[in-house]
Amino acid sequence: MQEDVLNIKNQALAQIMSADSAAELEQIRIDYFGRNGRFTNIIKNIKRVSADERKRIGLIINEAKKSIEELLENQKRNLRESVREWFDPTVPGQKPEIGHLHPITKTINEISRIFGRIGFERARYPEVEWDHFAFEALNMPKNHPARDEWETFFIDVPENSKYGKTVLTPHTSNGQVREMLRVGTPPIRMINIAKCYRRQSDISHAPMFHQFEGLVIDEDISIVNLKGTLDYFAKSFYGEGRTTRLRPYHFQFTEPSFEIDISCGVCKGRGCKVCKSGWLELGGAGMVHPNVLKAGKIDPVKYSGFAFGWGVERVLMMKEEVGIPDVRMIYGTDLRYLSQF
């Protein structure tokens, strides 16, 4: 009898689990616990069991009956909760929110398109770089401040016998010599857009940021070509309403060198905590230093070139319609803010 009880219990549980309506559950209850139900008949026949076994079998029957009844109630409740509410199918539905590209990604795409229209080819070089390409080949001596541990992230790995220490790229200029060695013989028109890393953090700097590096090398390239290229970008990216200015400057890898400033898009040139004076630095530029050309195995007598390196976040912040007061907000996770772009 014990085996019969367990078989009936298992069959009942299986039927209850597969039932998909209250009527079906009620029929199962009648089949097992009705006047002529299978469990009812088992209970009627318990008197045939010996007195010694009757108590033990009775406990088994009660446990099985309780399990079936509990599952019946649970399944009835689940079916009630799963009943779909009535709705009017003619009522317009709510459209799901559609995401968009991050503002930095959109800016990178726009920069790529602008320079692509004038023949620049997109390049990408390592973010974990050797000292040689990040500094040495760019005409920076061993004691240059940029090679200090307070400015650059050095990786704690053994030095390479040929290329020196390993660093996180402090600028996209590491791609200059790599591109020269890759191409071999000019002309070269490269735009390298990548992540950079420096130990800086304030409203206009972040430890990780993006730069785009332009490099042009050919015969008879002059500062006029550089100025024309940068003016073209400024007009294409910002429009006619922003003012730019050039300032003489010094960089180890360009000669002559200068920086380009643009009027602040947050305060419209009046001065604020972002710009402090009404102007914001776009980035450095200049004519490629002969020593850098030599490091790239290019003849500095026959060829000349220009290079520039600007921050993607900076050029985005300086757009009039953007108005980002703190560069760190770009990398926040507040969708209320990011959804504005």
Integer Cα distance of 139 and 137 in angstroms: 5
Grouping H, G, I as helix, E, B as strand and the rest as coil, residue 35 is coil
Is 107 in contact with 312 (CB distance < 8 Å)?
yes
Q: What tens digit of pLDDT does each residue of 299-325 get? A: 999 999 999 998 898 888 777 666 677
Structural domain ending residue among the three candidates 12, 47, 81: 81
CATH number of the domain within which 208 lies: 3.30.930.10
- Same domain (yes/no): 177, 114: yes
Query: DSSP assignment of 56-86, as one string?
Result: HHHHHHHHHHHHHHHHHHHHHHHHHHTSPPP
Q: Which two tokens stand for residue 16?
A: 């209850």
Q: What tens digit of pLDDT does each residue of 226-270 get? A: 989 988 998 899 887 777 788 899 888 899 998 888 777 677 778
> Residue 216: which pLDDT band, with cuts at 50, 70 and 90?
very high
- Same domain (yes/no): 141, 272: yes
pTM of the predicted structure, to 2 decimals: 0.65
- Same domain (yes/no): 21, 136: no
pLDDT of residue 146: 61
- Same domain (yes/no): 59, 108: no
Average pLDDT over residues 117-132: 91
Q: Which two tokens stand for residue 306?
A: 């220009």
- Same domain (yes/no): 121, 211: yes
92 in any annotated domain: no
| Cα-trace Rg, the chain | 37
Cite the beta strand spans of the chain per DSSP E.
Answer: 121-123, 128-130, 154-160, 164-168, 188-197, 208-218, 244-251, 254-263, 279-288, 304-311
- Same domain (yes/no): 160, 49: no
Handedness of CA 26, 29, 35, 36 (dihedral sign): positive
Integer Cα distance of 315 and 238 in angstroms: 9
20 in any annotated domain: yes
- Same domain (yes/no): 135, 19: no
Write out the residue range of the structural domain in which residue 46 sits: 2-81
What does residue 291 show for φ and ψ, rounded to 5 degrees?
-65, -30
Q: What tens digit of pLDDT does each residue of 156-199 get? A: 888 888 888 888 888 888 899 999 999 999 999 999 999 988 87
Q: CA 63 from chain center: how many Å?
A: 56
- Same domain (yes/no): 256, 191: yes
278 in any annotated domain: yes
Q: Tally the domains of the chain.
A: 2
> Residue 82: which pLDDT band, with cuts at 50, 70 and 90?
low
First to last CA, the chain: 74
Integer Cα distance of 243 and 238 in angstroms: 10
Closest to 193 measured CA to CA, from 257, 115, 79: 115
